[in-house]
Amino acid sequence: MRIINALLAVAMMLATLASCGSGKKPETPRILILYYSQTATTRTVAEAFAAKLQADIEAVVPEVPYDGSYQETIQRGREELQESKFPALKPLAADLAAYDVIFLGYPIWFGTYANPIATLIEENDFSGKKIVPFCSFGSGGLESSAKNLADRLPESEILPGYGVRAARIDAAPAEVERFLKAGGFLSGETDPLPEFPASHPVSEEEAAIFDAAVGDYPMINASAATVSSRPVPEGMEYRFTAIDRPRESSAQQAQREITVYVLASEGEVPVFTRVVRP
């Protein structure tokens, strides 16, 4: 009897191993890097993602390009927003239905994704897709644009995104790799960043770091109020809460509280990496 029971146990174990061995491996998700870029800055980020992931890549191309001056682009974009009339796009070569994950890239215009992306998400079905937003900007807009994507694409899953200032585009390749590893898209370990500690009133030294980081940027007219900091691979990262004051040309605007992230690397002038506005 013991022999029979032992034989049965071995048979069950072999059957289990055979079942595991014949099981299908999880399929690798198909990834598309889909982006709009006007000045090639966003394209640089898109190409970094595509190279790291060995993924397909395609540009979103308006029928009528935004090839005027900066002011002409601003005027056209504002008129499109006011009229809710967004640019026609050339057809995509990629079949979106064939992809599981779409990295969606754009520059930030008027605090959110550029107008061609509005047309893209209106005319295409992103249901069931995982969307990873990425963007380039003058000061910020990742958080607001990701929220707008979530509002417009309720049947999609909007994953954490990546953003970079145009002035810091040289930092993108290293940041993209760390972002992909942290998100599980690339193998390899990356040390998680520590949480920011509780904020405290800024000291004179911290206020000087803030002023050095934002002083030359014309769209920020702010003074730091509180701060917290944490070590990062590049040096020290500061999270400032600041009061943004209206300039004379826009005195009708009220003061508002903004969050400014600043990177201070040894031997270099501090730079702000992004601004989060309410």
Question: CA-CA distances (angstroms) from residue 114 to 50, 57, 80, 103?
Answer: 21, 18, 11, 15
Q: How far apart are CA 103 and CA 110, in angstroms?
A: 21
Instruction: Assign residue 67 a region (left: φ > 0; alpha: ψ between -120 and 50; beta: otherwise).
Output: alpha
Q: For the chain, 278 residues long, give each residue's pLDDT as a single digit of tens.
A: 433 343 334 344 334 434 344 444 457 899 999 999 999 999 999 999 999 999 999 999 999 999 888 899 999 999 999 999 999 999 999 999 999 999 999 999 999 999 999 999 999 999 999 999 999 999 999 999 999 999 999 999 999 999 999 999 999 999 999 999 999 999 988 888 999 999 999 999 999 999 999 988 988 999 999 999 999 999 999 999 999 886 665 555 668 899 999 999 999 999 999 999 98
Nearest CA-CA partner of 88 in 69, 59, 116: 116
Q: List the domain boundaries for the chain.
A: 31-182, 200-276
CATH 2.60.40.10 fits 31-182, yes or no: no
Residue 71 is predicted with a pLDDT of 92
Half-sphere exposure of 214 (CA within 13 A, CB side): 28
pTM over the 0.75 mark: yes
Looking up tokens 């803030």 gives 210
DSSP annotation of 202 reads P
Q: Is 132 helix (H, G, I), strand (E, B) or coil?
A: strand
Q: Is 83 helix (H, G, I), strand (E, B) or coil?
A: helix
Residue 184 is predicted with a pLDDT of 93
Residue 216 is predicted with a pLDDT of 86
On whether the CB atoms of residues 129 and 159 are closer than 8 A, the answer is no
On whether the CB atoms of residues 71 and 78 are closer than 8 A, the answer is no
- Token couple for 8: 């049965």
Question: CA-CA distances (angstroms) from residue 130 to 13, 63, 99, 238?
Answer: 38, 27, 9, 31
Residue 5 is predicted with a pLDDT of 42
